[in-house]
């Protein structure tokens, strides 16, 4: 474990999606999101499918869903941040 207290490096926080928040979407919004969600290799198509997917996630204890390429993700609180260390890539 490393703590980086006192030092503020540029940090990346991925966006995440609240499952409960998404359940409040209108049908139209859910339908719009459907193609963005893939379950078992299959894209969702209807609002009902999206809703079922969200309920499924909740039943797994997932409060949030990752968005993007996140490898430091907590299913309750979302992205925990990435301490991005920028390598010096300056060419003389
Ligand atoms: Zn992340």
Residue 77 lies in a domain: no
How far, in Å, is the centroid of ligand 1 from the Cα of 51?
Answer: 24
Domain count, the chain: 1
Residue 14 has pLDDT above 60, yes or no: yes
Residue 45 lies in a domain: yes
Radius of gyration for the alpha carbons in the chain, expressed in angstroms and rounded = 17
Residue 78 lies in a domain: no
pLDDT of residue 8: 59
Residue 62 lies in a domain: yes
How far, in Å, is the centroid of ligand 1 from the Cα of 75?
Answer: 11
In angstroms, the CA 46 to CA 43 distance is: 10
Residue 22 lies in a domain: yes
How far, in Å, is the centroid of ligand 1 from the Cα of 15?
Answer: 8
Helix residue spans in 1-92 (DSSP H): 19-23, 27-33, 47-59
Q: The domain containing residue 55 runs over which residues?
A: 17-71
Residue 92 has pLDDT above 80, yes or no: no
Residue 76 lies in a domain: no
| Its pTM surpasses 0.75 | no
Residue 83 lies in a domain: no
pLDDT of residue 86: 55
Q: Dump pLDDT digits (tens) for 15-44.
A: 899 999 999 999 999 999 999 898 889 999
């Amino acid at each position: 474990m490393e703590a980086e207290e006192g030092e503020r490096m540029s940090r990346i926080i991925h966006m995440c999606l609240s499952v409960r928040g998404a359940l409040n979407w209108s049908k139209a919004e859910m339908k719009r999101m459907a193609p963005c969600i893939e379950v078992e290799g299959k894209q969702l198509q209807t609002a009902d499918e999206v809703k079922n997917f969200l309920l499924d996630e909740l039943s797994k204890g997932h409060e949030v869903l990752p968005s993007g390429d996140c490898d430091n993700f907590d299913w309750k609180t979302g992205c925990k941040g990435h301490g991005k260390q920028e390598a010096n890539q300056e060419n003389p």
